[in-house]
Amino acid sequence: MKTIYKALLGSAVVAWMAAPAAAATLDDVKAKGHVQCGVSTGLAGFSAPNDKGDWTGLDVDFCRAVASAIFDDPNAVQFTPLSAKERFTALQSGEVDILSRNTTWTISRDTALGLNFAGVTYYDGQGFMINSKKLQGINSALQLSGAAVCVQAGTTTELNLADYFKANNMEYNPVVFEKLEEVNTAYDSGRCDVYTTDQSGLYAIRLTLSSPDDHIVLPEIISKEPLGPVVRHGDDQWFDIAKWVYYALLNAEELGINQGNVEESLKSDKPEVRRLLGTEEGGKLGTDLGLTNDWVVRVIKHVGNYGEIFERNVGAESPLKISRGINALWTKGGLQYGMPIR
C-alpha cells in the first residue's frame, strides 16, 4: 500500500509540475495600461454609448471600477462591443480581459466553457413585451399561443422561450436574429408580435422604440437570470480581483460609504470601515490581491458604491426607473450580499 501511495503521490506531483502556469492577466493589463472590457452592442442602462460616444451603464461601471482599483483611473478601460454569439469566444481567446455584458450565470458556461462568474451584479428574469395596440386584450404571456416571437440567437433567452411554450402546451413562431439591433428593428417594424429577453432589457429596449407608450411588459417572469461579469478559468488572481471589486461595492453601500464621503471615511475608527478602506494598521488585504491597500478608496471615489451605480444607470435617477427589488441589499430585503472583507 505504501508503494502504491508513493507512486500515486509522485504522479500527482509530476502532473502538477507539468501543468501550465496560470495566465498573469493583471500583469498583461498593467503592461498595456488598460482593462479590455467586453460589453453589449448597446443596451440602455447596462452598456451603451451616450450622445458623446462615451460608454455608460451598470456593466460599464463595473469595468470602470476594476480599472479604478488597478490604475486609480476609471477611464483606463477600453470597450469591445460583442454580440451574444461573439462574447464567449472573445473572452476565451483573450480578446477581452473581462466580459461585463448582461450575461446569465449557468452551469454549462461555468464549466464546459471554462469561465468564472465573479458575482451577480443584477438579478433578473426573462419576460415578454407586446404592442398593446396590436395585441389588444392580452395581459398575460399565457395568451400568446400562436404568436411570432422575436428573440436573439445563442442566448439562454432562446432556450427558455422554447421551454415555456412547451410546458404550457402553446405553439409559437420564433423569429431569430444574431444581433440585438436586428431583433429591435424587427420588433419595432412589426415583424413579430412579441419580444422576449431579460425583463430589465425590455424596459431599456422600450425606450428606443418609435412609440414607447404603445408597448407593455407582461407580468410573467419565466426564468432566473443572474447576470454578472465573467473571466476565464486559469487565473485565480484576476478572478479574485473581479470578485472582490464586486463585493467591495456592496460592502461600501452597506457601511454607508459613497463618493461624497469616502475621503472623510478614511478618518473612521470603525474596524470594518478601516479594513475596507485599507487604513487598518498592518493591513495587507489589498497587496494580497496584487493591488494597493487603498484600492477600495480608488473604486468608490471614481464610480461610487453599488447603490450609486444602480440608481444612476437603471434606477430612480435613470430613464428606466427600475426599482431595486431583489437587487436591494440583504439588510433591506434583497439578495445583494457582500462577502466579508477581513
SS3 of the chain: CHHHHHHHHHHHHHHHHHCCCCCCHHHHHHHHCCEEEEECCCECCCEEECCCCCEECHHHHHHHHHHHHHHCCCCCEEEEECCCCCHHHHHHHCCCCEECCCCECCHHHHCCCCEEECCCCEEECEEEEEECCCCCCCCCHHHCCCEEEEEECCCHHHHHHHHHHHHCCCCEEEEEECCHHHHHHHHHCCCCCEEEEEHHHHHHHHCCCCCHHHEEECCCCCCCEEECCEEECCCHHHHHHHHHHHHHHHHHHHCCCCCCCHHHHCCCCCHHHHHHHCCCCCCCCCHHHCCCCCHHHHHHHHHCCHHHHHHHHCCCCCCCCCCCHHHCEHHHCCCECCCCCC
- 98 shares a domain with 235: yes
Q: What is the mean predicted confidence (pLDDT) over 145-153?
A: 96
29 in a structural domain: yes
162 in a structural domain: yes
The pLDDT of residue 18 is above 60: no
Residue 17 pLDDT: 35
With beta carbons less than 8 A apart as the criterion, state whether 97 and 29 touch.
yes
- 83 shares a domain with 118: yes
- Among positive and negative, which fits the CA dihedral 126, 303, 287, 339? negative
- 255 shares a domain with 196: no
- 283 shares a domain with 254: yes
Q: How confident is the model at residue 20 (pLDDT cuts 50, 70, 90)?
A: very low
How far is 102 from 46, CA to CA, in rounded Å?
Answer: 7
- 148 shares a domain with 281: no
| Number of domains present in the structure of the chain | 2
- 234 shares a domain with 316: yes
Q: How confident is the model at residue 38 (pLDDT cuts 50, 70, 90)?
A: very high
257 in a structural domain: yes
Read off the C-alpha cell for 148: 411570432
Q: How confident is the model at residue 125 (pLDDT cuts 50, 70, 90)?
A: very high
CATH of the domain at 202: 3.40.190.10
Domain end, chosen from 223, 240, 275, is at: 223
6 in a structural domain: no
With beta carbons less than 8 A apart as the criterion, state whether 183 and 152 touch.
yes
- 281 shares a domain with 250: yes
State pLDDT tens for residues 63-76. 999 999 999 999 99
Q: What is the mean predicted confidence (pLDDT) over 117-133?
A: 96
- 114 shares a domain with 233: yes
89 in a structural domain: yes
Domain end, chosen from 208, 223, 238, is at: 223
- Among positive and negative, which fits the CA dihedral 238, 242, 248, 254? negative
C-alpha distances in Å from residue 182, one per residue of 80, 83, 179, 191: 19, 11, 5, 11
Question: Which residues, at least 6 apart from 129, have a Cβ–Cβ distance to it below 8 Å?
Answer: 187, 194, 195, 196, 202, 205, 206, 215, 216, 217, 218
Q: What is the mean predicted confidence (pLDDT) over 30-52?
A: 96
- 219 shares a domain with 236: no
337 in a structural domain: no
- 295 shares a domain with 180: no
Q: How confident is the model at residue 284 (pLDDT cuts 50, 70, 90)?
A: confident
- 246 shares a domain with 218: no
How far is 139 from 4, CA to CA, in rounded Å?
Answer: 68
214 in a structural domain: yes
- 249 shares a domain with 111: yes
Domain end, chosen from 190, 223, 256, is at: 223
- What is the extent of the structural domain holding 141? 126-223
State pLDDT tens for residues 296-342. 999 999 999 999 999 999 999 999 989 899 999 999 999 999 999 99
342 in a structural domain: no
Identity (one letter) of the amino acid at 61? D
